[in-house]
Amino acid sequence: MSLFVLCDTHLSLSLNKPMDIFGSRWQNFEEKLRRRWNERVTDADTVVIGGDISWAMSLNEAKEDFSFINSLPGKKIFVRGNHDFWWDSLKKMKHFLDSNSFDTISFLQNDAQEVGGIAICGTRGWFADSKSAPPGTDYEKLSLREAQRLEMSIQSAEKTMPGAEINVFLHLPPIFGDCICEPICSVLSRYEVKRCFYGHIHGLYEIPQITCYNGVSYILTSADYLDFTPYRVD
């Protein structure tokens, strides 16, 4: 039983949203993703998909994308990304899974799940600085809200799975270059988290995968950065 992570699948099987405009790595990426997933992941494994899962604007529009992911080996845990506009209340999303027999998928939202002694915690996160955040958004308010959601997730892990190693899975990088989302990083340091996996970053294939800051290793796991190969969490 192994744990993997992969962010930014950016599926659009029911939409006309070509991804190869973002570079050659995205050409026929769905088939590449399927092949490399099948090469590494078994039904006994779990894969955290760290956001930007589907371009769909609603759950019904995302049905084909969910079906594609559900058909792949292993269990999948979804973390919300900044482009996952289909994301709805947990009750509605669970009903959607049940209605379509998507039985290998679950959601991470203000809680935690355990896989092989690892506590999987996380949330969407927020941008590393206000300049990169969407125009018109309240940077301080949203970064604090995501930090609170992350803390709820970690506290859930500490309560329900004491002794498990806490690993955090975000979509947005809390640290990138000289920019730092202090509310998120503060939570990670306070709870002595050692590893934080994130995505969102595309096209920068020469940058280091791991950045260390205040005792935390921040690990980039965007699908195109990994050439669509799920990253094993040892």
Give 17-59 pLDDT, tens digit per residue.
Answer: 888 778 889 999 999 999 999 999 999 999 999 999 999 999 9
Could you tell me which of 69, 43, 47 has the C-alpha nearest to residue 56?
69
State how far Cα 170 lies from the chain centre.
Answer: 5
Q: What is the 3-state secondary structure (H, E, C) of the chain?
A: CCEEEEECCCECCCCCCCCHHHCHHHCCHHHHHHHHHHHHCCCCCEEEEECCCECCCCCCCCHHHHHHHHHCCCEEEEECCCCCCCCCCHHHHHHHHHHCCCCCEEECCCCCEEECCEEEEEECCCCCCHHHCCCCCCHHHHHHHHHHHHHHHHHHHHHHCCCCEEEEEECCCCEECCEECHHHHHHHHHCCCCEEEECCCCCCCCCCCEEEECCEEEEECECCCCCCCCEEEC
Residue pair 200/82 in contact by the 8 Å Cβ criterion: yes
Q: What pLDDT, on the 0 to 100 scale, is given for residue 43?
A: 97
Question: What is the signed CA dihedral for 175, 180, 183, 185, rounded to 10 degrees?
Answer: 40
**Burial, 19: exposed, middle or buried (Cβ in 10 Å; 0-12, 13-18, 19+)?**
buried
Residues of the chain under the 50 pLDDT cut: none
Q: What pLDDT, on the 0 to 100 scale, is given for residue 16?
A: 81
- pTM here? 0.96
Q: What pLDDT, on the 0 to 100 scale, is given for residue 227?
A: 96
Cα–Cα dist 162/160, whole Å? 6
Q: What pLDDT, on the 0 to 100 scale, is given for residue 24?
A: 87
Q: What pLDDT, on the 0 to 100 scale, is given for residue 22?
A: 81
Q: What pLDDT, on the 0 to 100 scale, is given for residue 29?
A: 95
